[in-house]
Amino acid sequence: MAETTHWTGSDKYLCDPALAQAFHMARTLGMPLLIEGEPGTGKTELPIHYAKDRGLDLEVYPVGSKSNIEQFVARFDHVKYLRDSQIEILNAQREEKGLESKLTTGNRNPEKLGDYVVKGPAAIAYSKPNSVLLIDEIDKAPREFPNDLLYALSHRKFIMPESGEVIEISEADMPAIVITSNREQELPTAFKGRCIYHYIDFPDKEVMGKIIEKHHPKLDEKVVRVALDVFYHLRRLGLERAPTTREILNWLKYMGDIAPKEAVKKIEGLEGIGALIKTQTDMERVNRMIGADDTFGGSRLN
How far apart, in Å, are the Cα atoms of 86 and each of 102, 206, 260? Answer: 12, 65, 68
Q: Tell me the closest approach of the beta carbon of residue 29 to other proteins, in angstroms.
A: 6
Q: Tell me the closest approach of the beta carbon of residue 31 to other proteins, in angstroms.
A: 8
Site for other proteins in 62-121 (CB under 8 A): 65-66, 68, 78-79, 82-83, 86, 90
Of 201 and 221, CB closest to other proteins: 201
* Total number of residues that touch other proteins (CB under 8 A): 38
Specify the stretch interacting with other proteins by CB under 8 A; choose among 113-121, 137-145, 225-233, 283-291.
Answer: 137-145
Q: Tell me the closest approach of the beta carbon of residue 33 to other proteins, in angstroms.
A: 8
Q: Tell me the closest approach of the beta carbon of residue 65 to other proteins, in angstroms.
A: 6
143 binds other proteins per the rule CB under 8 A: yes
b/e map 263-277, b = 16+ CB within 10 Å? bbbbbebbbebebbb
Site for other proteins in 242-301 (CB under 8 A): none
Of 79 and 166, CB closest to other proteins: 79
Residue from 144, 221, 229, 284 touching other proteins (CB under 8 A): that is: 144
Q: Tell me the closest approach of the beta carbon of residue 204 to other proteins, in angstroms.
A: 8
Site for other proteins in 185-214 (CB under 8 A): 185-186, 189, 192-193, 196-199, 201, 204
**Which residues partner with 178 through β-bridges?**
33, 134
Q: Which of 128, 131, 149 is nearest to 72 (CA)?
A: 149
The one-letter code for the residue type at 189 is T
Interacting residues toward other proteins by CB under 8 A: 6, 17-18, 20-22, 24-26, 28-29, 36, 65-66, 68, 78-79, 82-83, 86, 90, 142-144, 183-186, 189, 192-193, 196-199, 201, 204, 240
